[in-house]
A and B are shown apart, each in its own frame.
Chain A
Amino acid sequence: MIAEAGLAALWIAAALALLQLFLAFLPQLESEGARNIRGVAIVQALPVVTAFACLIAVFVRTDLSVALVAANSHSAKPLLYKVAGAWGNHEGSMLLWVMILTLSGAALALLSRALAPRTLAATLGAQAALALGFYAFLLLSSNPFDRLNPAPMEGQGLNPLLQDPGLAFHPPTLYIGYVGLSVAFSLAVGALLTRDVGPALARAMRPWVLGSWIFLTVGITAGSYWAYYELGWGGWWFWDPVENASLMPWLAATALLHSVSVLAARGGLKTWTMMLAVVAFSMSMAGTFLVRSGILTSVHAFAVDPARGTFILGLLVLYVGAALALFAWRAQTVTEGTRFALVSREGALVLNNLLLSVILGIVFVGTLYPLFIEALTGEKLSVGPPYFNAVAGPLALLLAILLMVGPLLRWRRHDVRITGKLVVPMLIGAVALAGSIILAPDMSLLSRLGLTVGAALIPASLLPLFGRSLRRTPLATWGMVIAHLGVAVAMIGMASDSAFTKERLASARPGDRLVVGPYTVAFVGVAPVAGPNWTAVEALLRASRGDGSVELRPQARVFTSPPTETSEVALSTAWNGQLYAVIGQQREGAWQLRLWWKPFVTLIWLGGLMIASGGGVALLGRWWTDWRRRKVSE
C-alpha cells in the first residue's frame, strides 16, 4: 500500500506542475494567475515529500515486493543504511533530485517577494517545465515504486563501498547544490521572457547561487575526503568523470557568484550573467546525465540502461536548447550595463569569469572527449590526471594570483597604486619559494608554484580588511575574506601532499618495525573482527614519534551480502598531517602493509570547508541587511 501511495503522490505532483505551467503562460490570467501560481508551487511540495517519505518507509520495512528494495537492500543492513539506501540507487536518487527541485520552487514562491509578479510567474513557469520533464522521467522510465511478483526471500544488498556514513549526506548535499542552480536558471529564463534583467533580479538570484554554491563546495569537499579514506589509494582527487560532473557546475557557479554580484551592486554584466545562469544549471543537468546514464563507469554509475540515458539526454537537449534559443532571441533587448574601466573591480571579475570559464571548458572537453572519440571512431581512451593537471593547473594558479589583486581594486575605475599593499604577500611568497627550493629541490614545478602562490595568498586575502574598522566591515566582506583564505589554505594542502608525502610499502610480519616520515610503526599483530554484515582481519599498528604513540587498526573486510572484499583504511590525524595505513593480503605469514605520511594533507578539506563557510557568512550578512532594511522601511 505504501508503494502505491507514493506512486499516486508522484502523479498528483506531476499534475500540479502541469497546472503551474499553464497558469504561468495563460495571458488572460496574468494578474490573477501570478497570485495563484505561487500557491500551486508551494502546494506541489507536499505530494513529492510524501512520495519520498513512502520510499524511505518501504526501505526501512525492507518490503521486498518492491523491485527497488529487493535489488538494493537487505534485511540485515543497519538502519542508517536502510534509510540512506533509499537514495543510494538510480530511481531513489532521481526522486530525491525531483524533490529538491520542487522544494526549491516552493521556497522561491514563498520567499521572493521583491520580484515583479510577472517575472516571478514566468520563473515559476520555467521551474514547472523543468519539474514536469523529470516527473515524466521518473514515472515513465525510472519508477521507484515498481512491484516485483513474486517477492524474493531476501534482497541483494547494497554495494559495501556505499555502506558508509558519508553516503547518507554526500548525495543529498550535492543534489541541493545541483538543483538549487535550477532556480538561477529559471530566474534567468523568467527575466529574459519578461525583459526584466537588472539589479533587482540579481538580488533575487544571488542567495540561490550562493546557497547552491555552498552545498556544492561542501559536497565536493566531502566526496573528496570520502574517496581519500574509502578507496584506499591515498589520493584525494582522481579526475574521475563523476568527480568532474560535480566540479563543472561548481566552476560555473563560482563564476556566476562573482558576476551576479557585479550585476546586483553595479548593474553591469547583465547578458553575461544570464548566460552563466543558463550554463550553470546546464552543467548540473549534464552532470546528472553523465552519472545517471550509465555511459560512465564508476561506483556512481548504478544502472546501465541506454533508454534512461537517452531520456535524460533528451531532457538536457530540450531545456538547454530552449534556454539558449531564448537567450539568443532576447539578448539584444537586454539594456546596456553600467560602464567600467579595464582596470577596476569589474575588470578583475570579468577576468575571473573568463579564467573560470576556460577551466570549465578544459574540464568539459577532457571529460567528454573519450565518449566522443569512442562514439565517432570506436577507439577507446581515457583522459586522466596528466591532462587535467597540466592544462587546468596553470590556469588555476593564474586565478589565484588574480585573487590577490582583484579584491583591492575599486569599482568603476581604479587609479591608485596598490603595489605597496602587496609587499608583504610578495615577500612571504618569495620566502616560501626559496624555502621550497632549499628544503625540497625535487618538487614538481606545479606543486612549488602552488605552495608559493598559496603562501602569498594567505596575507593577500586578508588585505581587504586592512585600513577599515573591523566592527563595521560588512559580513559579506568577511565572507569573501574567509573564502579566499580557504583557497590559500587548500592550495598549500594540495602542494604539500603532492610534494612531501612519504610512502612505505612492505610485506611485514608481526613484530616488524617500519619507518615512514617522522613515525616508527610497530606491527603488533592481526586479529579477526566481525561487524553486523561483514567479517574482517584487523591489523594492530602502533605508530610512535617524539610526542607519544597512537594505534591504527586497518582492516580487510569481507561483506556477506553481496559477497565483496573491501579495505578499511586507518587514519591518525596530527596537527601537521595524517598517517594513513592500508592492509593487503597475507602470504607465508607476512602481510602487505602500505603506510603513508601525508604532511598537512588535512588543509585541503579544511580549506574547502573555509570556502563554504565564507559563503555561509556572506549569505547571513545579506539576510541580515535585508531584514534590517525591511524593519527600517516598516
Chain B
Amino acid sequence: MSLKPKHQRLALVGAAIVALLAAVMLAMWGLKDRAAYFVTPTDIAAGKVAPDRFVRLGGMVEEGSLSVNPDGVTHQFTVTDGPNKVVATYRGIPPSLFKEGGGVVAEGKLLTGGTFIADNILAKHDERYMPPQLGNAVAEHAAAETVAK
C-alpha cells in the first residue's frame, strides 16, 4: 500500500503522537507501583508503609544498636528518626561510612512482623555528599533532640 505524501506525513505525525502517549501511559503505569517511596521510622510507626513494598528507609543508626550475627555478615541495627525506631537487618558488606550514630539509607522492604530487610545500604560517598532526603531526616532528628532537651 502506498499513501499520498500528505497522508503519509499525517500518518507519521499520528504515529509520533501515539508513541508519545504510549510512553507517558507506560511510564505512569510503571510508576504507580514501582516508585520506591522514601520513608522514615515515623511513617512505619504510623502504619503508612505496607509490608513487602519496595521502599527506602532513612534515618540514623542508633548508638549501641549495631550487632553482627554469628555468621559474621548479617548486620542488625535500629534505624531511628528521634521519636520512632525500626529494627533492620542487612546481609552483606555495608559501606565504610555505615556506623553507629551515622546516617543511613536502607533499600528493601518491611516484613509483616515489623522488621525491615535491607537489600542494599546506600553509600554516602564522602562528607560533601549527603542525599537531601537523608539531610532532611537528620535535620528533623536534630531538631527533635533539641526540643527533647
Contact = CB atoms under 8 A, between A and B. Distances in A.
Are A and B part of the same complex?
yes
Interface of A: 159-161, 231-233, 269, 271-272, 297-299, 301, 336-337, 339-342, 350, 354-355, 357-362, 365-366, 369-370, 379-384, 386-387, 390-391, 395, 413, 505-507, 556, 562, 564-567, 582, 584-585, 587, 590, 592, 594
Interface string B26-46: 111111001111100000000
B128 to A, nearest CB: 7
B34 A381 contact: no
A380 B48 CA distance: 14
Prevailing SS type, chain A contact patch: mixed
A457 to B, nearest CB: 23
Q: Which 9 A-B pairs have the closest CB atoms?
A: A507-B72, A361-B23, A565-B96, A584-B93, A391-B30, A365-B27, A387-B34, A380-B38, A358-B23
A361 B35 contact: no
Interface stretch (B9-17, B79-87, B138-146): B9-17
A365 B24 contact: yes
A565 to B, nearest CB: 3
A381 B107 CA distance: 12
Contacts, number: 144
A590 B69 CA distance: 13
Contact of A350 (B15, B94, B131): B15
B38 A594 contact: no
A355 B19 CA distance: 8
Contacts of A590: 72
Given A299-B129, A380-B133, A587-B68, A387 B96 contact: no
Interface in B67-104: 68, 71-73, 91-97
Contact of B31 (A272, A341, A383): A383
A594 B23 CA distance: 39
A414 to B, nearest CB: 12
B27 A556 contact: no
Given A297-B129, A357-B23, A566 B96 contact: yes
Could you say which of A299, A341, A350, A354 has the most chain B C-beta atoms within 10 Å of its C-beta? A354
A172 B34 CA distance: 34
A354 B8 contact: no
B19 A339 contact: no
Interface of B: 1-3, 5-6, 8-9, 12, 15-16, 19-20, 22-24, 26-31, 34-38, 54, 56, 68, 71-73, 91-97, 107, 120, 123, 125-133, 136
Given A354-B16, A358-B19, A556 B96 contact: yes
A366 B27 contact: yes
Contact of B37 (A232, A271, A379): A379
A361 B36 contact: no
A339 B24 contact: no
A229 to B, nearest CB: 15
A260 to B, nearest CB: 16
Contacts of A359: 23
B82 to A, nearest CB: 17
A159 B16 contact: no
Interface centre among B8, B20, B35, B37 (most CB of A within 10 A): B35
20 contacts: A271-B9, A297-B132, A339-B2, A354-B15, A354-B19, A357-B19, A361-B27, A362-B23, A365-B23, A365-B28, A369-B27, A380-B38, A380-B136, A382-B56, A390-B30, A390-B34, A562-B127, A566-B96, A582-B93, A587-B72
Contacts of B26: 358, 362, 391, 395
B5 A370 contact: no
Given A159-B125, A339-B5, A592-B73, 7 more contacts: A342-B1, A365-B28, A505-B92, A505-B93, A506-B72, A565-B97, A592-B93
Q: Which of B29, B91, B126, B127 counts the most A-chain CB atoms under 10 A from its CB?
A: B126
A582 B92 CA distance: 11
Given A297-B129, A339-B5, A507-B71, A381 B36 contact: yes
Contact of A383 (B19, B29, B35, B72): B35
Nearest to A340: B8
Nearest to B6: A336
